A and B are shown apart, each in its own frame.
Chain A
Amino acid sequence: AQKITQTQPGMFVQEKEAVTLDCTYDTSDQSYGLFWYKQPSSGEMIFLIYQGSYDEQNATEGRYSLNFQKARKSANLVISASQLGDSAMYFCAMRDTKAAGNKLTFGGGTRVLVKP
């Protein structure tokens, strides 16, 4: 079974600084996809970034980048130049591309609070 682990329950970060959110995963599959979502207090899930297991380059989307280390099974999210609006819960998730159901498995999340 797939498993996603986020070891940081909460973090403070100073405005304009960078922050790294850890994510490790466990899977026996060779083909999989990794996602990061942001969940503000309103509850909606906002897609941030995606990394495929065969992608050779680390994914980047604006201020978000994914530090993908396949051998270590880690997919850390880096948020550069933090803004007050970045305060939210952040979830790492993995898609099993082989199993029936195309399911998305989530980690427990990391709460980020940006300080002015």
Chain B
Amino acid sequence: DGGITQSPKYLFRKEGQNVTLSCEQNLNHDAMYWYRQDPGQGLRLIYYSQIVNDFQKGDIAEGYSVSREKKESFPLTVTSAQKNPTAFYLCASSTHWGWTFGSGTRLTVV
């Protein structure tokens, strides 16, 4: 079945370390997105990509980086510059008509 796979489901990181969250889709969608969700709050857009080798900053891009070398993959790196990285991260892909979300990665800084 087609869908979005995010890995790992849980991730622990020491302060000062970079960490990369994986997002893979087999839906043949051109557009992909990364959202951040803090407890009890809505989703905020970090980065998005409409086509391979192109991406744009969302509302809260500081401290994050992405790449889009393949249509199927849109990894997110949380850098040491991100002051408060503990959160739930959701990846999504879309056509014009709708979005599909992954099951998320819960990142905790220890």
**Chains A and B come from one and the same complex:** yes
Question: Which A residues form the contact surface with B (CB < 8 A)?
Answer: 4, 6, 9, 35, 42-45, 47, 50, 91, 100-109, 111
Q: What B residues does A4 contact at CB under 8 A?
A: 42
Scan residues 51-109 of chain B and give those whose CB is less than 8 A from a CB of chain A. Answer: 56, 58, 88, 90, 92, 94, 96, 98-99, 101-104, 106
Chain A interface secondary structure, helix, strand, loop or mixed? loop
19 pairs from A and B in contact (CB 8 Å cutoff)? A6-B42, A43-B88, A43-B90, A43-B104, A44-B102, A45-B92, A47-B98, A47-B99, A91-B43, A100-B50, A101-B31, A101-B56, A104-B45, A104-B92, A104-B94, A106-B42, A107-B42, A109-B40, A111-B40
Contact A104 B99, beta carbon cutoff 8 Å: yes
Per-residue contact bits, chain B 12-39, to A (CB 8 Å; 1 contact, 0 not): 0000000000000000000101010000
- How many A-B pairs have beta carbons closer than 8 Å: the answer is 54
Q: CA separation between A102 and B98, bound complex, in Å? A: 10
Contact B42 A91, beta carbon cutoff 8 Å: yes
Contact A50 B90, beta carbon cutoff 8 Å: no
Contact B88 A104, beta carbon cutoff 8 Å: no
A43-B88, A44-B104 given; A106·B43 CB < 8 A: yes
* The residue from A6, A35, A104 contacting B33, defined by CB atoms under 8 A apart: A104
A37's closest neighbor in chain B, by CB? B101
